[in-house]
């Protein structure tokens, strides 16, 4: 494969793989409730994950070491363990939410209860993790996820008032009837959805799985610089669809089916078919990434052999953790807990836990003993410090806001 083709494929995969249940739920929910007034959070979140992914990808490519390898070494066993437990719990909730999301997409396509789909989805996820090669897995679901470009097509087809949307996004004000705490609570949820911890665990461990070296950094940067913003643009289009079609009708989004109505409104059954394929790919791909991430971080903390590149008998503990986590999360969804509510909690808790992994990465990205001359440049540190402030404030405010607003009521 030529270099250009490989880069293009990587970018397309990054776009398709960018969205998951977190963006699908929070993007539409906030659009229906707050119009475009929270679009700036998506932009901020995408910028933050770009820097975070670049730093952890660079550390992985140059030192061959993934996030939790670094966390254990820099924070020691105690703080590292707190970090591990928090990340693991959030991963667990996120996985249940993603599995629920896949099942809900299948429910919408079939009118067969999502609870019946859940075991099948988990079984399929297990088979893919167990048998499908790493790159094939990533590419198949990333490329299928590109079907979500239907969001942009639908928005264009609706002929919205672009200047109105832009005005709403560029002059963010809290809509009448909504309180500031609720608005900020959902801002944090959107932010947490854009930078869910598993994405970085997966990105950094995946770089090691694919054997990246310094030579691959240019390609990785292309994925990040082009793929992530385009993924963010899909999220904003998704939000705009809700703002244009659902908000004027007073529809608040509590279900994935409601979120998809604007696509049906604009494009009819074909558009919905694309959307459902995209839902499936985005949430199923994410479910596998979260599952693998759980094995990655535990294996890294404890010094196991880990990785999907290794066969089950070469990394039995890694595969066992993946299996058990998948099993447990399946059980959680089968308790009939609402996957959409679960998603909301998972993304907010992601924001709470973010400083725990972001901070060590920012420190190591400046450490010459690890990176030599590839440490952060001054402007990266300027951005990185700015994001650190945002991340710490969001993390500290999340739980008080959750209590004050009764989780966004």
Angle CA 223–70–222, to nearest 5: 10
- In whole angstroms, how close is the CB of 204 to another protein at the nearest point? 14
Q: Which CB sits closer to another protein, 13 or 300? A: 300
- In whole angstroms, how close is the CB of 9 to another protein at the nearest point? 28
Q: With contact defined as beta carbons under 8 Å apart, do 357 and 392 qualify?
A: no
Q: Which CB sits closer to another protein, 160 or 312? A: 312
- Nearest C-alpha neighbor of 198 from the set 342, 49, 309: 49
- In whole angstroms, how close is the CB of 2 to another protein at the nearest point? 32
Which H or E run includes 17?
helix 3-18
- In whole angstroms, how close is the CB of 249 to another protein at the nearest point? 5
CA 281 from centre of chain? 13
- In whole angstroms, how close is the CB of 43 to another protein at the nearest point? 28
Q: With contact defined as beta carbons under 8 Å apart, do 217 and 61 qualify?
A: yes
Q: With contact defined as beta carbons under 8 Å apart, do 22 and 196 qualify?
A: yes
Q: Which CB sits closer to another protein, 159 or 249? A: 249
Q: Which CB sits closer to another protein, 70 or 200? A: 70
Q: Which CB sits closer to another protein, 83 or 196? A: 83
CA 131 from centre of chain? 24
Handedness of CA 102, 104, 106, 109 (dihedral sign): negative
Q: Which CB sits closer to another protein, 227 or 271? A: 271
- In whole angstroms, how close is the CB of 54 to another protein at the nearest point? 20
Return residues touching another protein (CB under 8 A). Answer: 63, 65, 69-70, 72-73, 76-82, 85-86, 89, 107-111, 130-131, 245, 249-252, 254-255, 257-258, 260-261, 264-265, 267-269, 272, 302-305, 311-313, 316-317, 319-320, 323, 345, 349, 352, 369-370, 399, 402-403, 406-407, 409
Token code pair at residue 42: 């998506």
- In whole angstroms, how close is the CB of 339 to another protein at the nearest point? 11
3-state secondary structure 88-151: HHHHHHHHHHHHHHHHHHHHHHHCCCHHHHHHHHHHHHHHHHHHCCHHHHHHHHHHHHHHHHHH
Angle CA 26–289–48, to nearest 5: 55
Q: Which CB sits closer to another protein, 77 or 164? A: 77
């Amino acid at each position: 494969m030529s270099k250009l083709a490989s880069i293009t494929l990587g970018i397309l995969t990054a776009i398709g793989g960018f969205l998951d249940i977190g963006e699908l739920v929070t993007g539409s929910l906030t659009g229906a409730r707050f119009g475009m007034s929270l679009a700036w959070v998506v932009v901020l979140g995408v910028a933050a994950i770009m820097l975070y992914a670049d730093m952890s990808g660079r550390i992985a490519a140059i030192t061959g070491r993934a996030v939790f390898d670094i966390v254990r070494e820099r924070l020691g066993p105690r703080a590292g363990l707190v970090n591990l437990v928090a990340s693991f719990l959030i991963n667990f909730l996120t996985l249940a939410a993603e599995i629920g999301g896949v099942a809900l997409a299948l429910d919408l396509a079939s009118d067969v209860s999502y609870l019946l789909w859940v075991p099948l989805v988990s079984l399929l996820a297990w088979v893919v993790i167990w048998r499908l090669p790493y790159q094939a897995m990533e590419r198949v679901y990333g490329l299928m996820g590109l079907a979500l470009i239907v969001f942009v097509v639908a928005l264009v087809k609706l002929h919205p008032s672009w200047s109105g949307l832009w005005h709403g996004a560029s002059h963010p004000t809290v809509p009448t009837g909504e309180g500031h705490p609720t608005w900020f609570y959902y801002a944090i949820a959107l932010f947490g959805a854009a930078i869910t911890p598993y994405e970085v665990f997966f990105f950094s461990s995946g770089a090691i799985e694919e054997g990246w070296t310094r030579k691959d950094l240019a390609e990785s940067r292309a994925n990040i610089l082009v793929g992530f913003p385009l993924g963010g643009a899909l999220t904003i289009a998704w939000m705009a669809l809700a703002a244009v079609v659902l908000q004027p009708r007073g529809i608040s989004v509590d279900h994935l089916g409601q979120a998809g109505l604007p696509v049906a409104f604009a494009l009819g059954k074909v558009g919905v078919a694309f959307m459902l394929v995209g839902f499936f790919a985005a949430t199923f791909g994410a479910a596998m990434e979260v599952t693998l991430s759980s094995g990655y971080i535990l294996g890294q903390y404890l010094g196991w052999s880990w990785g999907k590149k290794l066969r089950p008998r070469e990394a039995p503990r890694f595969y066992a953790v993946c299996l058990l986590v998948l099993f447990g999360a399946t059980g959680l969804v089968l308790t009939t807990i609402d996957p959409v509510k679960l998603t909301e909690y998972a993304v907010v808790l992601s924001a709470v836990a973010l400083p725990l992994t972001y901070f060590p990465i920012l420190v190591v990205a400046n450490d010459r003993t690890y990176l030599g001359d590839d440490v952060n440049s001054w402007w990266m540190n300027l951005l990185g410090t700015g994001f650190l402030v945002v991340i710490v404030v969001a993390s500290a405010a999340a739980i008080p806001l959750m209590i004050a607003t009764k989780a966004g009521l």
